Amino acid sequence: MKIAFFTEGGYEGKVPRNNPNMRTDQAWICALGAIHHCVFNLSSLDQKYDIGIVIIPKEKNREKLASLNFPLIENIRKYCNKVYVMQESIQWDWQDESFASMAWFYNQLTEADKILCHNDVDVPYFSGISSKPADVFPTLMIEDEIVVSNKKENKVFVAGNWTSTYRGFDAWVIGSSFNVPMTGYKTGKFKQGEETNGINYLPWIIWKDFMFELSKHKYAVQCYPASAGQFPLNCAYLGIPCIGYDDVNTQKDLFPDLSVKRGNVLHARRLANDLVQNNDFYNRVSVKAKELYNKIYKEDKFLKRWKEIE
């Protein structure tokens, strides 16, 4: 089975297991032994594949492709027997772009053979709007290069900037309930003035270094709605209790005792207090998360799930 991945990333070829910046998309490529190609270099391809998986660019690069009315799926199909579109970001994110970009993106979905989704809640949405079959493509970690701190500090990692996509404000309110120092990281949607909210924001660092910094924390919060969910996955691997919204598969699967309905900040703040005040509860959640990670999200489980999808 020859598999190709197509993204806006500028590199070509395979992803080695010792890649220090092994974020979700690169972990997928690595585990599947796939070849990566940049969507802007399709004319240089000289190989044929059984399956092509494309992560359609978003924001400026999607607008660029839409302005050219570029037939992305049609061009990838020249080299692949089947073409799957992999969801990027939350399911409605593309609807904040221009009408031309929305129309172009929708057309690409309808031309694909299948839509791969982040979460259970995304499957009926993407299948419904595209009339194509859809499956959950699980979030994945390649563990080879992870280095863990031998020191755990009494602080909380609060993920997500203050946008409707990341719901960082929700996470900040919940994180404040721990009454310990808060750490965060910046994304491209970081707002001017956001650094005044009391969170110590890390500079941009590669994934291996991020995992080391995360491993120093005792608690975590993430309120991304229906995202890829790599952060709860990272936390479960490290045994860090993570509070979050339950429409994210990795959150509800790995932290069932810390998952709340989207927007239920009141319940989330109560859980934060429980983690601080009840050591037995904290330890139980931590141990369970590691066990569930091994049971559901280890690399061999991902590969078994891929066999069911392909």
Q: Hey, is 128 helix, strand or coil?
A: helix
| Range in 139-143, 162-166, 200-204, 289-293 with the lowest mean pLDDT | 162-166
pLDDT > 80? residue 161: no
The H-assigned helical ranges of the chain are 24-32, 59-67, 72-77, 99-111, 122-130, 168-176, 207-214, 230-238, 249-254, 265-277, 279-292, 299-309
pLDDT (0 to 100) of residue 156: 97
For 177-199, what is the mean pLDDT? 80
> What pLDDT, on a 0 to 100 scale, did the predictor assign at position 189?
67
Q: How far is CA 143 from the centre of its chain?
A: 16
- Predicted pLDDT of residue 255: 98
Q: What is the mean pLDDT of residues 6-22?
A: 93
| Whole-Å CA distances, 146 to 134, 139, 187 | 32, 17, 22
Listing DSSP states for 281-302 in one string gives HHHHHHHHHHHHIIIIISHHHH
**Residue 135 predicted with pLDDT over 90:** yes
What does the pLDDT look like over 85-109, one tens digit per residue? 999 888 888 888 889 989 999 999 9
pLDDT at position 166: 80
State residue 92's pLDDT score: 85
- Enter the pTM of the model: 0.92
What does the pLDDT average to over 23-52? 93
Amino acid at 215: S
CA separation for the pair 57, 144 (Å, rounded)? 28
Tokens 């990333």 -> residue = 9
DSSP for 139-196 reads -----TT----S--EEEEEEE--SSTTT-HHHHHHHHHTT-S-EEEE--TTPPTTGGG
For residue 288, name the pLDDT band (cuts at 50, 70, 90): very high
Task: Write down the pLDDT at residue 279.
Answer: 96
Question: Above pLDDT 90, what percent of the chain?
Answer: 74
Q: Alpha-carbon distance 87 to 104, whole Å?
A: 15
Tell the residue number behind the tokens 């509070």, with chain if given: 243
**pLDDT tens digit string along 166-178?**
888 999 999 999 9
pLDDT at 158 over 90: yes
Looking at the predicted structure, is the pLDDT value of residue 286 above 80? yes
